[in-house]
Amino acid sequence: MMGSRNEAQTALFYEFCLEDHVPTDHLLRSVDRFVDLGDMRKYLAPYYSEIGRPSIDPELMIRILLIGYIMGIRSERRLCDEVHLNLAYRWFCRLDLGDDVPDHSTFSKNRHGRFRESNLFRQLFESVVTRCIGEGLVGGEIFATDASIIRADANKQNSTPKEEWDTDSLDPETVPRAVKEYLEVLDDAAFGAASEVTPKFTSHSDPASQWTGALKGPAFFAYADNYLIDTDNAIIVDVEASRAIRQAEVGATRTMIRRTRDKFNLYPEFLTADTAYGTAENLNWLVEGEGILPHIPVFDRSKRKDGAFPATEFTFNHNANEYTCPSGKKLKKYWRKMSKPRTGISKDGFIRYYARKSDCSTCALKPQCTPNQPARKIARHIYEGARDLARELSLTDAYVESQKKRKKVEMLFAHLKRIMKLDRMRLRGPNGAKDEFLLAATAQNLRKLAKLTPIPA
């Protein structure tokens, strides 16, 4: 028998508990165990006035922002609508059914004010990393680093070629916020001071972003999101925003290594990365400056295009400060005694060693060694010792294993762009990039904590 249609009846009283309507296996229920914002009010107290109308609870705003990054909701307008409708989101934010959700404009006001002044997002990220260390998810032996290019909220149509861009004509008092931040970081190693090369185009709306064609397609404006991770469980131990160029990314890695050491007392034994981090200066900084063994391919251009012997075929004698070629002849910095001692170091940081013309002209290996020149010369970098160490390490089994673990940082970037949908910036300026990258890394670590730490029965 067909049942009758039930007409909706408005009840006078409801017995409803949000706790009962959030599944035990819901992601936010697992994440909530590791979101500890108890000290936030004390941390932010100096940035609030002691008089006036009460503000929106900062813990509520942080929880809403975390939902946006954890669940891949990029728009703050849509995020507020989702929190209003979704019971699990309300439960995570500690909102009852009748509680109001803050307006989306509240987030911009606080982000540009007290949140940035207090460096709140950095403090939040580091508190989650501390929790990861406490849960035993960070081994601290092998770190990996890499950078991923994130499109900026900028367009070429609103840009200026480098020949016409003049920073001296910008008035810091009247320019937009993103331009003001750009002027503030002109001497920052991660931005303006990373390279003396001027970008081909500079965006009017976000001049700190880098015009790049690194993805081998049409060029665009972008920032670099730099990660330093522990390879045991792919926990992000630090994150840094920079220009999307190699020099800035290498500099960001140095900043992250120092900051991780000072903040968490973590001293990795090995660092694994790709060839972009294998320059002589960076390898020397790791080996001599930080005592870290580099599991990094050497950035080496010594291979000859004409098929001749590369520099690696020549043996260097440290005591005699000379090379020996495959036929047993010597290559020296100077073949005569100098009246005044000279270092022989050129402006590019290389020392050049020369063979005798008489040795090369009679050598049977000359067609394979220096077919187009009368005598062979070898350029050796002042930090070649660190490069030699990196080459030796690349022959070990530990190096092969480290290079496999390095893929974990690339998987984090894939997750960042495909699952969390952070493939294009929503905020502008260096501070906007820092805010987005810190919150995204915090969300990824929280998801990792929830996955690797089972809920007690």
Domain spans of the chain?
Answer: 18-118, 138-297+394-433, 311-382
64, two tokens: 């809403």
- In angstroms, the CA 298 to CA 283 distance is 8
C-alpha closest to that of 152 among 245, 248, 244, 246: 244
Instruction: Write the pLDDT tens digit of every residue in 80-106.
Output: 999 999 999 999 999 998 899 999 999
Which pTM was predicted? 0.89
Going by pLDDT thresholds of 50, 70 and 90, the confidence category of residue 69 is: very high
Going by pLDDT thresholds of 50, 70 and 90, the confidence category of residue 20 is: confident
> What's the sign of the alpha-carbon dihedral 18, 20, 26, 27?
positive
Instruction: Write the pLDDT tens digit of every residue in 207-231.
Output: 999 999 888 889 999 999 999 999 9
448, two tokens: 């990792």
**The one-letter amino acid at 62:** I
- In angstroms, the CA 450 to CA 29 distance is 9
Least confident segment among 20-29, 175-184, 287-296, 342-351: 342-351
pLDDT at 457: 66
Quickly tell me which residue has 């949140």 as its tokens: 115
Is 344 a residue whose pLDDT tops 80? no
pLDDT at 74: 93
Instruction: Write the pLDDT tens digit of every residue in 372-394.
Output: 888 998 888 888 889 989 999 99
pLDDT at 5: 67
pLDDT at 334: 85
- Paired residues of 294 in beta bridges: 271
- In angstroms, the CA 89 to CA 246 distance is 40
22, two tokens: 């959030």
Backbone angles phi, psi at 230, to 5 degrees: -90, 130
- In angstroms, the CA 281 to CA 295 distance is 15
**The one-letter amino acid at 11:** A
pLDDT at 26: 92
Helix axes 429-452 and 177-184, enclosed angle (nearest 10): 90
Specify burial of residue 411 (Cβ count, 10 A radius: 0-12, 13-18, 19+): exposed
- The residues, ordered by sequence, that sit 6+ positions from 158 with a Cβ below 8 Å of its Cβ are 203, 204, 205
Average pLDDT, the chain: 90
